[in-house]
Amino acid sequence: MKPENLFTEAPFNPDKEFLETLAEGTGFKLNRIVSHGHRTPEGQWYNEPKDEWVALLSGKATLLIEDKEIDMTPGSYLFIPAHVEHRVEWTDETCETVWLALYAEPSAQ
């Protein structure tokens, strides 16, 4: 067993964020996402069937959730319930923006 590093440089693709699954199990998935000036394409919204907890580890970003802009800086985290529309409006172009995104089955209400 060898430890990995969340800040390992990701391959750069100007058209797409880097996505890596770090762990997966019954009812959950943990992804590392690396953005470098990426944003959700115009007119597109995410509407996940699972709850999402997202944390920004480095860089800067702005999310749009139900018409409210939310600025994210290192250490910021946010819970987005299933089926709440959201998008990435902006990520820093001068450095890598590293996210952790945990997807889990929605809790019974």
Tell whether 15 is covered by a domain: no
Q: What is the pLDDT of residue 15?
A: 87
Tell whether 63 is covered by a domain: yes
The total number of structural domains in the chain stands at 1
DSSP state of 67: T
Tell whether 76 is covered by a domain: no
Q: What is the pLDDT of residue 12?
A: 87
Separation of alpha carbons 58 and 31, rounded Å: 15
Q: What is the pLDDT of residue 108?
A: 61
18-34 confidence digits (pLDDT tens): 999 999 999 999 999 99
Q: What is the pLDDT of residue 109?
A: 55
Which residues in 45-96 belong to E strands, given as ranges?
Answer: 51-58, 61-65, 68-72, 77-80, 86-91
Tell whether 20 is covered by a domain: no
What pTM was computed for the model? 0.89
